[in-house]
Amino acid sequence: MTQQIHPTAYIGSDVTLGEGTFVGPFAVIESGAVLGGGCQVGAHAVVHGRVRMGAGNILHPHAVLGGLPQDLGFKPETATWLTVGDDNVFREGFTAHRATKENGETRIGSGCYFMNNSHVAHDCAIGDKTIFANNVAIGGHVEVGNNVFLGGAVVAHQFCRIGAFAIVQGTTGLNMDVIPFTLVGGRPARHYRLNTVGLRRAGITGERYNVLSQAFRLLRNKKTLEGLEETEELQFLKNWLAVKSKRGLHGFVDISAD
């Protein structure tokens, strides 16, 4: 497969473009950037120099990857990175910034979908198959797990963690951590219940789901998870909870009948 580069595009020196790369009109790829095979860079999109991405990524018009972090103390000459996996979609106006500490990286996994004008700040870590709806914005050092869905205009404070398979209701503001497998929403944000639809789609059903349901009830009532069947999901949850949180956990909605 040959590369297709529009004559108005700017490609800096020392750029690595994989086989089958498409670069549209007036796109910019700065010196030092690395793009895997089959990537598509739309019109007016920008890939800054300290970006390393895998194969099959699609940048729609005006997406910008690897910009300087929005940190007043950052020195532009600091060698930091934005590292991107494979098969991600970055829609119009998406932005992601590189990290702040020497040789550090902002990380985006594979198979993610970032809708219009969403933003990943410096030093964040995004898992695989995660979706950001329109206008989602996460602050620096936020961790987002695999298979997470963030609804439109969700915002997350620096250093929050959003666990795998969580779903966050649109327009929710997060200033604490979100437990894996759960649904969070409201103002202030609260854990409501398990992400039933997302878990079913992932094949987490039957006894595996029942164990998570029991675990959620215990957490809501501030009780230990000991004694539950050790499923893969429960072990993941325990390991996630064992990591010291910098923000604490969002509270729970009291649904006594649940």
CB 161 within 8 Å of CB 247: yes
Instruction: Measure the N-to-C terminal CA separation of the chain; round to a whole number of Å.
Output: 56
Residue 140 appears among annotated catalytic residues: yes
Catalytic choice (48, 97, 122, 141): 122
* 102 exposure class (CB count in 10 Å sphere: 0-12, 13-18, 19+): exposed
Q: Which two tokens stand for residue 41?
A: 């860079």
- Phi first, then psi: what are they for 198, rounded to 5°? -65, -40
Residue 123 appears among annotated catalytic residues: yes
Q: Give the Cα separation of 133 and 130 in Å (integer).
A: 10
Helix axes 206-220, 232-242, angle to 10 degrees: 30
Q: Give the Cα separation of 60 and 166 in Å (integer).
A: 26
Q: Which of 40, 38, 8 is nearest to 23 (CA)?
A: 40
**What residues pair up with 81 in beta bridges, in sequence order?**
105
Q: Which of 135, 164, 132, 166 is nearest to 150 (CA)?
A: 132
Catalytic choice (87, 123, 128, 177): 123
Could you count the other beta carbons within 10 Å of the beta carbon of residue 13?
8
Q: Scanning the structure block, which residue is given the tokens 């009780």? A: 223
Residues 6+ apart with CB under 8 A from 206: none
Catalytic choice (38, 85, 109, 140): 140
Catalytically active residues are: 122-123, 140
